Structure 1
């Protein structure tokens, strides 16, 4: 009897150990939905993909006119992870954004941010790097955005950058690393995440092909790795109809399909069946990562 009980306990402990091992080895995935604050259509779509989909982290653009609405929505979901999405561009033709501070080297003659970071052959003279930008102006503006975001959304957990502005020059990268330490806000790439496989959603022929490509991407995730997927949900509404710039005109369709993708039942089911753990930035022990690096 004792022998049988002992064997039974060994069996149970073995099963528990296997489960723990599986949990440790399962792929982890951050679904990052960018540009909350940019449009009301983006705000509500992003919240929808969090409530009824797979979004785990959102990136707040504090300069934009719809940021106040975004902040009200975020207050309704206190567990939703939020990063400050630092921005120094205003890429869309029919809506323009301005800095929080006086930074003359970062704006055009009308006081708007330039459209792009890097030169666009279809829109000459519209990129920051085509002008005499000043590092002190970028730092001044970044500081203002960080401080306003922390004031209005105290739970801000990390920093990300819009259109890759944090990588535009080594001096900018160095300055942003300094601000990250000063404000105790890790940058998104400080976590050592792997990017979700390049599934080229915008090149898929139709929505079903996008779903299939995303499912294939999920199937390819490796055990024990931590990945990040980045996209830009929005609603399929008239507000987005005339949002665009040269080279990217189908914004309404493209971003509304992102919303459908991140709430799609087949995708949610595949994540569950594969045992993929959806996580956010605030759940990662960043300090231990830093100590190991």
Structure 2
């Protein structure tokens, strides 16, 4: 049975998750993402547990009853604002640079990381979220550092094992349709989808987003038009659109050079034109907790069969 049917939807229904990444990264992230969760304008967020504002994000999420998962983090990309592993009870030297922080890019993770250390850090990040009081709705991955997109060396088997043990669905598309990636990667996506299925981990049908950085000449109106275009071309099944909606304040401008796009994304899903497009298209917003329920129901049935 396909995912949409497991969620009680029909064959032509378009189900949409809108997820805000990088919750807990900084105060600007928390302010922006919390405002959208509180307005029920988005479905969910994912928290970066190695970052200093993670406790505030989790406290807010628990109080609000929001869908929040764990943004598995193995990179630290901003020059003046860094973070490192949660793991404390063992050495994870393959995951850090000379200063003890995660590397700035995914390629370094793929080239250097030891799978056992990756597994230990995944468990530590999920357990920190739980220790802070969160019942995670799902897991995904910051900057795609575990997907193997830079070198072909991925850590998805490690991810699937951890997600199966914690009962969490994972952000992985069943097809690369709409992602703008080379067609030759489609067999890789299919093989990894089969591996997720074998592990009992629920994944998405499709995963879409807008470019992270503001292109020359882009305006809020053009970004809004692009998002409406995505919404109007959604396919049947379950799609996630992920965004980075931050408050564009002095803190954010000190941390990152492409802050403007994040400020724009904060406005999108409360914009009447975007909300109108969702309504006109008959798109149904769902949460990651719906996928978690489906995964745990099936895994529970399997355990009873044993």
- Is 1:107 paired with 2:96? yes
Equivalent in the alignment of 1:47: 34
Equivalent in the alignment of 2:129: 149
SS of residue matched to 1:48: helix
Q: Tell me the TM-score normalised to structure 2 length.
A: 0.76
SS of residue matched to 1:33: strand
- Is 1:97 paired with 2:98? no
- The structure 2 residue matched to 1:261, chosen from 249, 263, 268, is 268
- The structure 1 residue matched to 2:223, chosen from 188, 199, 210, is 210
- Residue 25 of structure 1 deviates from its aligned partner by 3.5
- Residue 228 of structure 1 deviates from its aligned partner by 0.7
- Residue 171 of structure 1 deviates from its aligned partner by 5.9
Equivalent in the alignment of 2:60: 73
Evaluate the alpha carbon distance shift between residue 174 and residue 151 of structure 1 in structure 2; reply closer, same or farther with a 3 A threshold.
Answer: same
Q: Tell me the TM-score normalised to structure 1 length.
A: 0.79
Alignment of 1:119-268 (within 5 A): 127-129=108-110, 132-168=112-148, 172-189=155-172, 190-196=202-208, 199-200=210-211, 202-203=214-215, 205-222=218-235, 224-244=236-256, 249-250=257-258, 252-268=259-275
- Residue 73 of structure 1 deviates from its aligned partner by 1.3
81-90 vs 175-184, which moves further: 175-184
- The structure 1 residue matched to 2:19, chosen from 32, 39, 52, is 32
- Residue 235 of structure 1 deviates from its aligned partner by 0.3
**Which segments of 5 or more consecutive residues in structure 1 lack a partner in the other structure?**
1-20, 119-126
The answer to whether the 8 A contact 1:261-1:267 is kept is: yes
- Residue 31 of structure 1 deviates from its aligned partner by 0.1
Find the aligned partners of 1:238 and 1:139 in 2 and give their Cα distance: 36
Equivalent in the alignment of 1:9: none
- Residue 219 of structure 1 deviates from its aligned partner by 1.4
Give me the CA root mean square deviation: 2.4
Rg larger in structure: 1
Encode CA deviations 1:51-95: one digit per residue, 9 max, x unaligned: 2362101101111011111122112211x1111111111110110
Find the aligned partners of 2:250 and 2:12 in 1 and give their Cα distance: 44
